[in-house]
Amino acid sequence: MNTGKMQEAIIVGISYSKASRGPSSRIRDYTHIEDSSWKYQTGKAKEHIYFIEKSVFSFIGKHYRVNESRTFVGNSLGGLLGVYILFTKPDMFNNYVFGSPSVWFKDNDILKIETELNLNTHKVFIGVGANETIELDSPQHDMVKGAKQLELKLSGKLFPNTKVKLLTIQGANHETAFPTTAIQGLYWLFKES
């Protein structure tokens, strides 16, 4: 931003809920459907989205100089939350950066959500580590396969005005892919022409 190569932005971070340990808050708030096989509660994404809409957006709008353009950035289960928002509340954000989105959650349920025709103009950047496969460094879930499935759905006829970019980051695994995803994603979204 300082060199004029990217548009100015306000970055808003949302912490875990008060009195919650990180994993319990994250798993509860970022998953869209209940799954009793998990140690922690799942399926409270709707409530978390309501909090973002009513409390966070309101606070930011009241205290900062903002326009109507909003970008969601989320990694892993945070990416899953962003996909759920895009599929169910497409007016909430204009742009998305999904880092290694947990498409696999509850047997790929997110990909089964029936979406209506979305004529909104969206830009979606998906980043995933090349090593996030069962064969290499992701013993339970093939994150690369999930990212490709998501890219395919977003490139389909129900999202005619959505521009999608998938970046597979060579040498990266689930723990190391996100910094590159965030930097490259925000640059792709906001670089000045």
Determine, yes or no, domain membership for 25: no
Determine, yes or no, domain membership for 148: yes
Determine, yes or no, domain membership for 41: no
Q: Compute φ and ψ for 47, nearest 5 degrees.
A: -65, -40
Domain count, the chain: 1
Contact 38, 24 (CB under 8 A): no
Determine, yes or no, domain membership for 158: yes
Determine, yes or no, domain membership for 10: no
Query: pTM (2 decimals)?
Result: 0.93
Domain holding 134, by residue range, is: 67-190
Nearest Cα to Cα of residue 105 among 40, 182, 171, 14: 40
SS (H, E, C) 89-103: CCCCCCEEEEECCCC
Render each residue's pLDDT in the chain as its tens digit; 193 residues: 677 776 777 889 988 888 777 789 999 999 999 999 999 999 999 999 999 999 999 999 999 988 888 999 999 999 999 999 999 999 999 999 999 999 999 999 999 999 999 999 999 999 999 999 999 987 789 999 999 999 999 999 999 999 999 999 999 999 999 999 999 999 999 887 6
Determine, yes or no, domain membership for 86: yes
Determine, yes or no, domain membership for 94: yes
Determine, yes or no, domain membership for 84: yes
The enclosing domain of 102 has a CATH number of 3.40.50.1820
pLDDT per residue as tens digits for the range 9-54:
788 998 888 877 778 999 999 999 999 999 999 999 999 999 999 9
